[in-house]
A and B are shown apart, each in its own frame.
Chain A
Amino acid sequence: QSALTQPASVSGSPGQSITISCTGTSSDVGTYNYVSWYQQHPGKVPKLIIDDVNYRPSGVSNRFSGSKSGNTASLTISGLQAEDEADYYCSSYTNSVIFGGGTKLTVL
């Protein structure tokens, strides 16, 4: 059961949009629409920002959106803000749970 593949880092300037990819296999991301995304600021607890591929929990900014195509899920953050600088993790249901390795977002 390998981890989902995410880029180690992405960056963008305030106001721009960025996309973080999360690549799995036909046994996880490709089969189940249970992809979640978590935001983790340094030293803090992970926070759920997207579940079921593209559903935003109450209270999460609409600047965050999710999608999926085949075995790859994506998180898009529009209108980048300094407070978005954090680590982002995807996860997928696969009769258990696997996480991606995490992506560090830097806001330039």
Chain B
Amino acid sequence: QVQLQESGPGLVKPSETLSLTCTVSGASISTHYWSWIRQPPGRGLEWIGYIYDSGITKNNPSLKSRVSISVDTSKNQFSLKLNSVTAADTAVYYCARGDFTLIVPFDIWGQGTMVTVSS
């Protein structure tokens, strides 16, 4: 049974860097596409970016160059860094599994972790 679990600080100060990790169990992180998705309170879903094949990444153009996604295959984890955060980055952050050969669909999701940007 494949499971994903997000971890990281729940509170980040404005202008600082948000850092989250997704631990994957029950599957190898070397297969499939792995994405980060977020959902601001009371609002819809926004795809942040993916990592694939132990290093190929692509980010949502709307987030410009603020996003960095990396992988640690030895720990079966992938991570998100979002720099220069503002209150608009306050959201529930999910990690999710895509397909073997395509970003979508997202068939397995983590439970999500709430990140608040506030001083």
Contacts and interface: CB of A to CB of B under 8 A. Distances in A.
Contacts, number: 59
Contacts of B111: 45
A38 B103 CA distance: 15
A89 interface: yes
B102 A34 contact: yes
B105 A48 contact: yes
Please report whether the interface of chain B is mostly helix, strand, loop or mixed according to DSSP: loop
Contacts of B35: 97
Interface of B: 35, 44-47, 58, 60-62, 94, 102-107, 109-112
Given A1-B60, A47-B109, A97-B47, 17 more contacts: A36-B105, A45-B111, A45-B112, A46-B94, A46-B109, A48-B105, A48-B106, A48-B107, A51-B104, A89-B45, A91-B47, A97-B60, A97-B104, A99-B45, A99-B46, A100-B44, A102-B44
